[in-house]
Amino acid sequence: MIYEVLLDGKTLYYQNDKQAVICDAKLTQALNDAGTFEFTVPCTNPLYGDIENRVSMVQVLKDGNEIFCGQVRECSEGLDGEKDVKCVGELAFLYDSIQPQAKYQDQTPLQFFSKLLTIHNSQVEKEKRFEVGAVTVKDSNDSIYRFTNREDTLTDLRDKLCDRLSGYLRIRKVDGTRYLDLVTLEDYGKVCAQPIQFGYNLLDFTCGTSGTDIATAVIPLGARLDQSVIEGLDAYTTIESVNSGKDYVFIQSAVDHFGWIRKVVNWEDVTEPVNLKKKAEEWLKSNQYETMTLELTAVDMSMLNADLDTYEVGDMVRTLADPFGMDTRFPLQKKTTYLQSPEKNTVVLSNTLKKTYTQQVASSVKTLEQSLPQEKSMLQAAKDNATALITSAMGGYVYKTTSELFIMDTNDPKTAKKVWRWNLNGLGYSSSGIDGPYGLAMTMDGSIVADFITTGVLSAELIKTGMLKDVLNKSFWNMKTGEIHVTGTFSQTTASGVKSLDIENNQVKFYAWNDDGNYVGSIGAVKDTSSDRVGVNMWCDQGDTLALGCKESDGKIHYVFKTDSNTYKDETPYIRNGANGTMFQGCGDGVTIENGFIKKWNLPTVSGSPSFISGLSWTDGKITSVTRTTLSVSNGLITGWSSEKTDY
């Protein structure tokens, strides 16, 4: 393992070189931190006089690969002529820009992140700029609502994205281009194959948890049971039936070291004793240590064996401690490297991150001199993000059987969490191990399961039989025929969010609004043979209703005229001035009406008292009275009639 330090591209330090010498070189790296590199330069170094505060750039290379790049921020000369130098990592460039007062609404994490970086890039020199990299953090609604108020860019990224969405900033360089990623902890680093193990490569440690946090035995309780043995007390699923009559599990080595320390842990959704026992055993070995912080002095065995993974910030590191019965993975939160004294190297492992940011002595503020460039389309942004995700991948293991191919984050299918699985039946991704669930999948029957699909054109030929449908087959969209079937209510709103259409319960309703955005009324078509309100309905904002239509009753077709729940008329075809038509069709020739007058009467078999509207009065577009004529008919002959006027 060879370290090299460059000052503005020139060799400032190289191991065993007699002139390119520095002393006490210490590199500190941490998640979401710019990192620092401190060292002392003797006056005999050829580049001694080239070090400039706030100008010089320093790189640290490990076996030819850059592990740190930053700017000189402090440089002081002592009485002995040596210079003490402190460098701050590139992430600190984000302190040099200020976000203006602005409101961001309905933004995805990627969009908001991109806009903050665009503003930063517009305010700083080219060498301080970042390209938008991979973004894997998620917002529950995929809709961010944030304000910026003249904070520096790094503070806004920390407060408004990292803290709220559990995100981590990662600098990544590809072909000389500096990218800034915003990723989850799971996506940050690799699963390190080299463990940290008591008695193997662990020299010293400090445990950031108290003895009261440790358990050597656990009594697991599952789902609540319907019946209880003891009246007045709840009963739960336990493990006696699958654990030799014992309701607890324990780790013998931990009991031997600490004694019996029991705890009760609940899993309310577990109903099977076998599964409950597995969860309890896993909790004893792993989950109970989730809040523990370990500061370790550990030998990086990759210095002795090149085939072993080296520890890097953001890696998931397996930690084994027999006295605790601990076997779990911690993220590497912080790493301190002494270039000339590797035995002093320390790492901090913890699931709990205390976010601290390297502060600068001063900040440079410039006004926004140019307008923001036009943002990329959502499709192009999605393509760029997908490209960044794939090209930035680190680590991974390929495991092959006779019938399946696995790509995993560990080399053991039993311990792997992030898994791509490919077999004859399909391709799927799981973040919960090889047993799934597989939230992203393409299966041999043509089905695609995905939380998000971003595309420019989605062709029906790309979807099974050109049909897009739900899993219960209740709603579908046939993109070949254009047919859309929706089970339940179909609603449409305008671009401003105002409802314009409802389709539900056999009703189609169109809404009307005035200029102030207030509801005026609606008109709808109704098809409901069990209701009086059929045909066309008109509603107004006062709740009044006018219904026009027809329905079948007693084998006859009746016209419906309804103004509200109290006024209702059930009519046969009516006669008015200028009316034409035939009444009682099918009974001989019926009654022929021309211009409101009966011209022909032939009802040989009809008897009864039919009635019809013979007159209507209107005022200002409203019906004020209706005249009804009732006939007395016997064997097709009119024996009498009467008229009655009703005022409204």
- What pLDDT sits at residue 399? 84
Regions in the chain scoring below 50 on pLDDT: 207-211, 304-307, 354-376, 459-462, 464, 529, 533, 565-578
Sequential DSSP letters for 233-288: S--B--SGGGTTT-S-EE-HHHHHHH---EEEEE-TT---HHHHHHHHHHHHHTGG
Q: Say if residues 611 and 631 touch (Cβ distance below 8 Å).
A: yes
What would the pLDDT profile of 553-611 be if each residue is shown by its tens digit? 655 555 555 555 444 444 444 444 445 666 655 555 666 776 656 666 665 555 667 67
pLDDT number for residue 471: 54
Each residue's pLDDT tens digit, 40-63? 999 999 999 999 999 999 999 999
The confidence score (pLDDT) of residue 403 equals: 83
Spatial separation of the C-alpha atoms in residues 526 and 533, rounded to whole Å: 7
pTM of the model: 0.52
pLDDT of residue 327: 75
Using omega within 30 degrees of 0 as the cis cutoff, is the peptide bond preceding 437 cis?
A: yes
Query: Which pLDDT score is estimated for 330?
Result: 83
DSSP category for residue 156: H
Query: Are the beta carbons of 447 and 468 closer than 8 angstroms?
Result: no
d(CA 566, CA 568): 6
Contact present, 406 and 392 (Cβ < 8 Å): no
Return the residue matching tokens 């099918």: 586
Any alpha helices (H) in 82-168, and if so which ranges?
109-123, 153-157, 163-165
The pLDDT, as a whole number, for residue 567 is: 43
> What pLDDT sits at residue 551?
56
